Amino acid sequence: MKILAVDLGKARTGLAICDPEERLASPVGTITEYNPEKRLEKVTQKAKELECQAIVVGLPRNMDGSEGESAAGARAFAQMLQEATGLPVELRDERLTTVSAHGFLSAADKRGKKRKALVDTVSAVLILEEYLRYRQNQRKRNP
């Protein structure tokens, strides 16, 4: 199943997709959009364009597991995305994905504007990779 991952941001939203066999998460790119309605339209269009069957949205929890304003925004966006696409949408904890993405980009010597443009997409890939591991473990437990 092709799954689209979304790392939601106020200005930049990173996207990633997996292959139909759910083995490889690949970056799709970053949507730069400040307007929430237009952002929803663009993500919906990308999901249709890529023929996705499901979507996973990063849920930005605090380090103690609590949820703040950003998490509430992600939950609302996920609900609207499900209504707009008709696809199942799941939320996944995204704690430390941005930190990890910065680490990967530092190792790849990506700095400045290049880094800013890539960090959200790399975060989406990390969210999707974690989700794919989760799905694989679920299939092993419930064959």
Q: What is the pLDDT along the chain (143 residues), one digit of tens a residue?
A: 999 999 998 889 999 999 999 999 999 999 999 999 999 999 999 999 999 999 999 998 877 877 778 889 999 999 999 999 999 999 998 865 655 555 555 555 555 556 466 778 888 998 999 999 999 988 888 87
As a whole number of angstroms, the distance between CA 93 and CA 37 comes to: 23
Asked if 126 and 101 touch (Cβ cutoff 8 Å), the reply is yes
CATH number of domain containing 26: 3.30.420.140
pLDDT for 65 equals 77
Which DSSP state fits 11? S
Q: Which domain holds residue 54?
A: 3-141
Region of 81 on the Ramachandran plot (φ > 0 left; ψ -120 to 50 alpha; else beta): alpha
pLDDT for 69 equals 87
pLDDT for 34 equals 94
Q: Under 8 Å CB-to-CB from 101, ≥6 apart: which residues? A: 118, 119, 120, 122, 123, 126
Count structural domains, the chain. Answer: 1
pLDDT for 124 equals 92
